[in-house]
Chains A and B, each alone.
Chain A
Amino acid sequence: MGFQFGAVLAFTVVAIAFAAGGLTIGRLVRPNIPGADKAAIYECGERPIGSAWFNFNPRFYLIALVFVVFEVDIALTFPVVAVYRAWVSHGAATAWVAFSELLLFTLILVVGLVWVWRHGDLEWVKKVETDESAPNGQPSSLAASKRAA
């Protein structure tokens, strides 16, 4: 066991050393002529407008949240899945116990998926409902009306 996880440590060290070593060798042979233009952010040849650290569309966070829920559940299912075969070979009764446990767990996940789907959080392109009565066709509520319902 110590050898096995020692391997993880050794590979981490070598991976870091590989990258650092390449960069260090490069430092000795590559040119280093700094300049303001070179150090600028690339924005199609124009001067960059503002910083890139601004508020932006949060779709990624919804996906990330859904991912975290699913991935944690999958991580918890792994140990059960690993012993499932042993339970099945033990006898019919234990087989159905193991099956119903995994079925229950999976159904909870599926209900979560259905909920997220119905809620519209899986849509990458969100439909903006424009309020006709408002001036300039302002987006009244970005699907927030749906969410409140």
Chain B
Amino acid sequence: MSALPTPAPARTKTPRLAAIVSVTAAIALPLGLFCVILFATPLLQPALLDGFIRERLHRDPATWYWRDGVYTVALLVLAFVFANFAAIFSGILSWWERRVAGRIQSRIGPNRAGVGGFLVWIADAVKLILKEDLVPAEADQMLFRAAPYFVMVGFILTFVVLPFGESIAVSDMNVGLFFITSITALVVVGILLSGWSSNSKWALFGGMRSAAQVVSYEIPAGLAIMVPVLMAGTLSMQGIIRAQGGLPWQWFIFRNPAAFALFFIFFTSQLAEANRTPFDLPEAESELVAGYLSEYSGFRFALFFLVEWGNLWTMSAIAVTIFLGGWQIPFVPNELYAQLKGTGFPPLAWWGLEAASMLVFAAKTMVLVNVVVWLRWTLPRIRVDQMMSLCWKYLVPVSFACFLFTLLWQIAVAAVPALETAMGVGLTAVSVVLAVLFARQTHRNITAIGDRVDLSNW
């Protein structure tokens, strides 16, 4: 028997064009979006717009009739930019999550469309637009069609106050954090509407479960965000960040032991509110088909999923803002930004600092986003009664206790300011030690079963 030379397994070569397109898209899309946000957001603010009207259009902005028209156009442009940011972020994240899931579960994940399957989210979007839009005959037609709009509006509106950098926030409302908690309630309305109007038992149970879950976890989340407000003395998102600093022991999470506990409570509650694993019971596919999404198809379905993945950015960004120091760069005091900016068109140094602050914020947020993705492929789903008792019997009492502790803590800190610094340094050290121990234990667990950390087959 002559040993036939076994042909080497044909390496699937990505065509050169697809490779170029996917690599270009992977670099240019996020970079371009962040650049547009970096330049558009500070420029399209009332002060600079007034300057533009005065210098270029030679009108007095205080009396000119069309000033509000200019403002409206500026705001619509900003809204368009952020809606695109949300859509493209959730698209890319859907690809990233599937890739990470593939690695975690020792399989490949999407690898056909473009290099590393990067273009799969664009293919998904095109496919979902091309799919037939089915509305069940027995559903409540109007409510069924209206539900995605509520979800979408509740999601996009958080970007009004969500900061991206020192001067990069559409508007720094003095009620920012409160605005976010109130506006996200619209998502619950959308979920309830979709569950009820579908006239399907799966959708009804999914919608009810989801609504019960989201409203329950609003309570610990609401109590948790009070603690940063107590420590900063303001509800404005930028104000809360300015009350913190660039170094870890200047962040709210480490400056107060109650805030340390509440960060985890807040994060858990946000996971539940975003219907992420281990709290993805509303769409538990093994029990409820797809929950409140059962009857949705095509682009309407895509809207729900856009919000679900986009929520990862908003929830992580809120956590970074109120607990993890936001965009603060180490050793850069808040006054430096104002000094560099001056009046009129800002100089290059200021833009550099803004870009750096944005980079810090985006990096911190992406770390948290990846933690959420990691949790999804690590933890099993919990039962519905466990979910409710975890919220009401553990998280709510603990957050009440932490809230009361912070009230006393603030009085103590006002008397002895060194207390806060000492606690910050101490808790930072404890956290670093805990993180190192965790990494060591993980490594030990992996080597104990004869496996190794392998990222080569990415």
Show the binding face of A for B, using Cβ within 8 Å: 2-4, 6-16, 18-20, 22-23, 25-27, 29-33, 36, 38-44, 48, 51-53, 56, 59-60, 63-64, 67, 70-71, 74-75, 77-78, 81-86, 88-89, 92, 95-96, 99, 102-103, 106, 109-110, 113, 117, 122-125
Contact = CB atoms under 8 A, between A and B. Distances in A.
Nearest to A71: B218
Given A11-B160, A22-B129, A85-B230, A124 B201 contact: no
A106 to B, nearest CB: 6
Contact of A99 (B204, B389, B411): B411
Interface in B366-386: 384-385
If over half of A's interface residues share one DSSP class (helix, strand or loop), that class is named, otherwise mixed; here it is helix
12 contacts: A11-B79, A11-B83, A14-B80, A15-B157, A26-B129, A39-B135, A41-B138, A52-B199, A52-B204, A60-B212, A86-B233, A88-B410
Contacts of A15: 79, 83, 149, 152-153, 155-157
A40 B216 CA distance: 33
A27 to B, nearest CB: 8
A16 B152 contact: yes
B232 A109 contact: no
A63 B385 contact: no
B231 to A, nearest CB: 7
B242 to A, nearest CB: 13
A89 B371 CA distance: 38
A39 B199 contact: no
B416 to A, nearest CB: 13
B204 A13 contact: no
Q: Which bracket fits the contact residues of B?
A: 35 or more
B320 interface: no
Given A26-B133, A78-B226, A43 B201 contact: yes
A36 B229 CA distance: 55
A63 B214 CA distance: 11
Contact of A88 (B149, B400, B414): B414
Interface stretch (B245-253, B341-349, B401-409, B434-442): B401-409
Contact of B219 (A42, A71, A89): A71
Nearest to A44: B289
A39 B137 CA distance: 5
Contacts of A85: 230-233, 410
Interface in B118-139: 129-139
A4 B175 CA distance: 11
A78 B137 contact: no
A106 B400 contact: yes
Given A23-B300, A42-B200, 15 more contacts: A2-B71, A7-B79, A7-B171, A9-B75, A12-B157, A19-B148, A40-B137, A41-B198, A41-B200, A63-B388, A71-B219, A78-B178, A89-B414, A106-B400, A123-B385
A90 B126 CA distance: 59
Contacts of B323: none
A53 B199 contact: yes
In this complex, which of A13, A14, A74, A110 has the most chain B Cβ atoms within 10 angstroms of its Cβ?
Answer: A14
Contacts of B173: 4
Given A7-B170, A74-B219, A64 B211 contact: yes
